[in-house]
Chain A
């Protein structure tokens, strides 16, 4: 009986065949089951012996069945996995891929650098009062710099509103509504009446910073900008100052950034395209806040001093990514934005 069953198990190579073997050899009507039932009729001495033998046979058969079942299952799974194989190199590109504009992500990156220093991010309107865009910043009605900045004026001219020419009115607004210490960065969209071409745009983006506190000097301005340069371009970066003129700062400086490609290293600088062999690239303007601006904005210049700086976001992008045509940033071709993903 037992050998017969074991032979049948060995011969079954599907789960269905094994099921039949189970019914035939250990089922209710199997010879083993019948034998078991007949054990009751045997004399007690023989009963024990017979019971033992039937039990052993059943155990051996069940063990064999379990082993064979596992074997067959594994084989069937193996076969199924083979038949279900696919070409995983087929493209699964059914979902459109979104992306964020680098002006947005760079502005956020810069904001994060300043927030990490404890600064805050301030914002303001783009159609701005003339007084806040010019007068409060020491650009009086006859100031030569006021004609230098070619301004979009809102109709009618007596409405005394402009499209802000810089984000500096946000600084004025902050000083007008808060007491120092003030440490703010102002990223935003600004406007000048330049015709759009490869290197000019009537709409562009900048980030300006303002710090007003007791005891701030131009040295703190330099320290902040050096840190900013390192946070964006990595260790070893630095800035340098050249004298310049801005009405809202005095003294004022142009700020150059160590060339982030050649680092002004003697063997690399001569052939560097980014800085054109200068070793430095122009990065923005800065200076010590003119006390006249503090007075107009309600900050006591005897007690407080401060510094301000501004850099162009669009130009930082075109220079860093070697984008020859500024118009690429604004015409909305999805191929421009897509490579940037959601973070820079």
Chain B
């Protein structure tokens, strides 16, 4: 809301020494937050001048300039009673009143200070100004010619043109609809400074008898409809400068006297007004719901198709106005309108909001209706407009006044007198509570401890006891709230899952991975790049009605979609070795999901009703993902490094599992986007919870990535759920160790992990098993490989005998034998 300070000061007698900055700061304390103070920035001697003489002087460049003598008042004139000014414009004649910027004037639109300068053979001692040069709206082509006798030479043009005015641009919160008017801001200003307030809506409504016939068939949408006719209006009369100025300062455009008056009254008292050309109306007005498909040409020239959700003002021909949002073209006020029917109707906020949104027609009127307009104002608003049309446009106010319906009084709100103190923590006297509410316009009754406040008609936000508390605190001052640290009961600290997610983060960073945060949006193109089969369940997304981009219409099902984009970005920026990770939720729709329920808010939903949320919402497990490209050990002066491989991805997942004390199995798998021969399924208690390995070359090509990128993605919630409350108990023997090596020949297809597992389980004396060599080549048959394991044998209770060692070794060989392994000769 843009509030010209001079207008505000007309309504509230603010002390002269209150600066605009102080006023703005004070209003901010009253919930009218300052966005900015707007001012013209013009300073210096800008005065009215009368053109005494004009000498036209043609120039060599083809232009003709005017050498003018201008009377700028005794204070500024030269000894010979004028100043000489060169001017290139021609839209003025001798005797005209113009605006002159004398040397020393600063015009921000030009960006420099005016000085006397030599030009075209004269000393030009100032400048005759155009609208554009003064930052004013209007015809920019010529200089400003003031109405004859509207001022005298030497008058201060800054004041005359309102250029010294400052404008407060205030942010109005949705609950303070009344502040979208000078009336509302004025009332809060008076409240803030403890001053009397003369309500501009205190207007005596005259008139008697029947007005224009109006029937309201949709009273839910239109509880009050007032209409008043003015005839004999002179459409040729201009809008007075002061009114046009205020309208433009408030951010609207001055159009014509009749339209300007309706807008001025809206700015002044906050009630939107519509004017019909009375002569164009055909029969009585009927307010009703639109019929489906009915058409209305609105005054912006668009033909709109209406629906039964829209409320319209009609006459015999059909809709003539989209209620509260925009008028129709056929009945609009024109340059020849002499008879005007003024409509001031109270339209209900939800209806206006829906209509304005459906037709994409936010307007100054709909903005006010959406938030709430004082329902007591319609008749007074028509009177105010009628008075101005008569006063400024010579019209005659017709006697008849139509008022259909009436405002419902605001329900009263009760609270105990101590509530404001309890809620705010500030000690507030009962008398101060009552006074604060009364100054906000409430009728207050106090019976012992119990207070009843009836809010004024414009305060839709005062419905609950706490609403009253806010008004009291606004007057007492938010800066009075004390600072008291509450004592919470002893807490249980972080949950296990929260602690473990932190641990995972630290482990990943320790493993050299850099955490990134990507957006969880994805689309089928992402899944195409990942090479997922057409029927892959990971292609099934939670989709959005209003995604930001058509390529990413929904939520991702894998962290790799974001990680691979980040990897490509890093490599595109010239980083060679990039190891990044992300931990976050993915979104997996339930195939048979119900719609999420909507309940009332007057009670807690039952447990069953609450459970229905979980049944409807998609699964949103935390995943951990990582991608690694380039060297894992860097090549340098100390020797050659090593590329990150499929093994690093698996090893990091195993490291995470170890840190969480979770036993996982690594099994060969063939799942996109991984390389079919370099992909491991991560298996927990028989269920696959993720994959790790090297990415498929086709995927790397699709993302424009270099060869050999390692990647993993695992369901972190599954790992965390499996993590035991306490870790394993240390259990070791201090008897001597015996070391045995086994070289085994197995088929290529046998997984090393399965041989490893078989060996580890072969004998209770086997303390540990470690694979230390893998060989395939000339020394072993085709299709076979040699796996060399180091076994450590130990007993908990004795030193091992040769016989112990022999039997453990044999048990190991035999266990491996069940997988087809034979001892290498």
List the interface of chain A (C-beta within 8 A of B). 90-101, 103-104, 108, 111, 115, 117-121, 123, 125-132, 135-136, 138, 140, 142, 144-145, 147-148, 152-161, 163, 176-177, 181, 183, 189, 193, 195-196, 202-203, 211, 213, 215-224, 226-227, 238, 240-245, 250-254, 288, 290-292, 295-298, 305, 329-335, 337-338, 341-342
Interface centre among B28, B546, B601 (most CB of A within 10 A): B601
Q: Given contacts A115-B491, A160-B597, A177-B610, are A290 and B466 in contact (CB under 8 A)?
A: yes
Question: B544 near A181 (CB under 8 angstroms)?
Answer: no
Contacts known (A118-B491, A127-B617, A176-B605); A241 close to B478, Cβ less than 8 A: yes
Cβ 8 A contact of A240, one of B479, B595, B601 = B479
In the complex, what's the smallest C-beta–C-beta distance from B66 to chain A, in angstroms? 47
Q: How far is the CB of B472 from chain A (nearest CB, A)?
A: 9
- Decide: B466 and A288 in contact? CB cutoff 8 A: yes
* CB-contacts of B153-200 with A (<8 A): 173-176
Q: Which residue of B370, B424, B426, B486 has the most chain A CB atoms within 10 A of its CB atom?
A: B486
Q: Are B617 and A153 in contact (CB under 8 A)?
A: no
B223 to chain A, nearest CB (A): 17
> In the complex where A98-B579, A100-B506, A157-B545 touch, is A222 in contact with B483 (Cβ < 8 A)?
yes
B471 to nearest A CB, angstroms? 9
Of B483, B512, B601, the contact of A135 (CB 8 Å cutoff): B601
Beta-carbon contacts under 8 Å, B467-485 to A: 467, 469-470, 473-474, 478-479, 481-485
Which of B353, B466, B610, B637 has the most chain A CB within a 10 Å cutoff? B466
The minimal Cβ–Cβ distance linking B483 to chain A, given in whole angstroms, is 5
In the assembly, what is the distance between CA of A331 and CA of B634, in Å? Answer: 25
* B window 552-578: CB within 8 A of A: 554-555, 562-563, 565-567, 569-570, 573, 575, 577-578
Nearest-Cβ distance from residue A151 to partner chain B, whole angstroms: 8
A144 touches B464 (CB 8 A): no
Could you tell me if B29 and A242 are in contact, using CB atoms closer than 8 angstroms? yes
**Docked CA distance A302–B555 (Å):** 42
Contact assessment for A223 and B486 in the assembled complex, using a CB-CB cutoff below 8 Å: yes
Q: A128–B542 Cα gap in the complex (Å)?
A: 12
Task: List chain A residues, Cβ under 8 A from B602.
Answer: 295-296
Among B543, B567, B569, B598, which residue has its beta carbon within 8 angstroms of that of A131? Answer: B598
Residue pair A216, B486 in contact (C-beta under 8 Å): yes
Determine whether the beta carbon of A251 is less than 8 Å from that of B466.
Answer: yes
Bound-complex Cα distance A130 to B617 (A): 11
Whether A193 pairs with B546 at a CB distance below 8 angstroms is: yes
Which residue of B174, B488, B506, B547 is within 8 Å of A148 (Cβ)? B174
- Asked whether A131 lies within 8 Å of B481 as measured between CB atoms, the reply is no
Contacts of B512 in A (CB 8 A): 95-98
Check: B613 CB closer than 8 A to any chain A CB: yes
> Given the complex, which residues of B lie within 8 Å of A101, measured CB to CB?
515-517
Report yes or no: A331 in contact with B569, Cβ–Cβ below 8 A.
yes
Residue of A nearest to B513 (CB): A98
Which listed residue, B479, B502, B509, B632, touches A108 by the CB 8 Å rule?
B502
B5 at interface, CB cutoff 8 A:
no
How many Å from the CB of A90 to the closest CB on chain B? 6
What A residues does B492 contact at CB under 8 A? 120
B612-633, CB under 8 A of A: which get 1 and which 0?
0100111010000000000011
Residues of chain B within 8 A of A157, CB atoms compared = 545
Taken together as a complex, chains A and B put the C-alpha atoms of A108 and B583 apart, in Å, by 14
Quick check: which of B71-79, B232-240, B493-501 contacts chain A, the rest being far away? Answer: B493-501
Task: Find out whether the CB atom of B423 lies under 8 angstroms from the CB atom of A100.
Answer: no
Contact A298 B617 (CB under 8 A): no
Interface residue B591 (Cβ < 8 Å from any Cβ of A): no
Contact indicator B425/A218 (Cβ below 8 Å): yes
Q: Is the interface of A mostly helix, strand, loop or mixed?
A: mixed
B residues within 8 A CB of A159? Answer: 593, 595-596, 616
Contact B579 A118 (CB under 8 A): no
Q: Which residues of A sit under 8 angstroms from B601, Cβ to Cβ?
A: 135-136, 138, 140, 292, 295-296
Distance of A20 from chain B, by nearest CB (Å):
39
Is B795 among interface residues, defined by CB-CB distance under 8 A? no
CA distance A155 to B357 in the complex (A): 20
Complex contact A330–B517 (CB within 8 A)? yes
> Contacts of B371 on A, CB cut-off 8 Å?
144
Q: Assuming A288-B423, A330-B519, A332-B518, is B479 touching A243 (CB within 8 A)?
A: no
A160→B545 CA distance, assembly (Å): 11
Q: State the CA gap A119–B481 with chains docked (Å).
A: 23
B219 interface residue per 8 A CB criterion: no
Number of A-B contacts (CB under 8 A): 311
Is B584 on the interface with A (CB-CB < 8 A)?
A: yes
Q: When the two chains form their complex, are residues B493 and A115 in contact, meaning their CB atoms are under 8 A apart?
A: yes
- With contacts A223-B486, A342-B509 known, is A193 near B548, CB below 8 A? yes
Please give the number of chain B residues whose Cβ is less than 8 angstroms from any Cβ of chain A in the complex.
Answer: 111
Query: Is the pair B633, A95 in contact by a Cβ cutoff of 8 Å?
Result: yes
- CB of B212 within 8 A of chain A? no
User: Are B423 and A251 in touch, CB under 8 angstroms?
Assistant: yes
Contact of B423 among A158, A189, A222, A305 (CB under 8 A): A305
**Contact with A253, one of B174, B478, B510, B514 (Cβ below 8 angstroms):** B478
Check: B251 CB closer than 8 A to any chain A CB: no
Say yes or no: B620 contacts A222, CB within 8 Å.
Answer: no
In contact, B596 and A160 (Cβ under 8 angstroms)? yes
Q: CA–CA, A224 to B482, complex, Å? A: 11
Give the CA-CA distance A144 to B516 in the complex, in Å: 36
Closest to A142 in B: B350
| Chain A residue with Cβ nearest B426 | A219
Q: Complex formed: what's the CA distance from A117 to B486 in Å? A: 9
Are B545 and A153 closer than 8 Å at their CB atoms? yes
Q: Tell which of A108, A130, A296, A330 touches B596, judged by Cβ atoms closer than 8 Å.
A: A130
B268 vs chain A, min Cβ distance (A): 23
**Is B610 a contact of A96 with CB atoms below 8 Å?**
no
Measured CA separation A176–B33 after assembly (Å): 35
Point out the residues of chain A lying under 8 angstroms from B566, CB to CB.
331-333
Q: Please tell me if the beta carbons of A152 and B632 are within 8 angstroms of each other in the complex.
A: no
Q: How far is the CA of A83 from the CA of B118 in the complex (A)?
A: 87
CB–CB A129/B617 < 8 A: yes
Q: A142-B353, A218-B423 are in contact. Are A94 and B638 (CB under 8 A)?
A: yes
A98 close to B596 (CB less than 8 A): no
CB distance from A144 to the nearest CB of B (A): 4
A292 to chain B, nearest CB (A): 7
Shortest C-beta distance, B488 to chain A (Å), equals 4
Contact B596 A131, beta carbon cutoff 8 Å: yes
Q: Nearest 4 pairs between A and B by C-beta?
A: A219-B425, A298-B604, A332-B566, A96-B512
Residue with the greatest number of chain B CB neighbours at <10 A, chosen from A126, A152, A177, A243: A243
Known: A100-B506, A120-B492, A219-B424. A153 touches B544 (CB 8 A): yes
CB of B184, distance to nearest CB on chain A (Å): 15
Q: Are A128 and B617 in contact (CB under 8 A)?
A: yes
A332-B488 CB under 8 A given contacts A148-B174, A219-B426: no
B490 within 8 A of A: yes
Q: How far is the CA of A145 from the CA of B174 in the complex (A)?
A: 7
B636 within 8 A of A: yes
Is B812's beta carbon under 8 Å from chain A? Answer: no
Residue of A96, A128, A189, A329 most packed against chain B (CB within 10 A): A96
Task: Give chain B nearest CB distance to A168 CB in angstroms.
Answer: 14
- B residues near A223, Cβ cutoff 8 Å: 482-486
Q: Are A213 and B486 in contact (CB under 8 A)?
A: yes
Residue in B closest to A238 when the chains form the complex, CB atoms:
B483
A93, B634: Cβ atoms closer than 8 Å: yes
Is B489 at the interface (CB under 8 A from chain A)? yes
* Pair B570/A334 contact, Cβ less than 8 Å: yes
Choose from A142, A241, A242, A341 the contact partner of B349 (Cβ within 8 Å): A142
Decide yes or no whether B580 CB sits under 8 A from chain A: yes
Task: Please tell me if B587 contacts chain A, counting CB pairs below 8 Å.
Answer: yes
List residues of chain B with CB within 8 A of the CB of A132: 613
In whole angstroms, what is the CA distance A295 to B587 when docked? Answer: 31
Contact A292 B604 (CB under 8 A): no
Q: What residues of chain B lie closer than 8 Å to A95, measured between beta carbons?
A: 512, 633-634
Closest to A95 in B: B512
If A297-B604, A337-B516 touch, whether A211 touches B488 (CB-CB below 8 Å) is yes
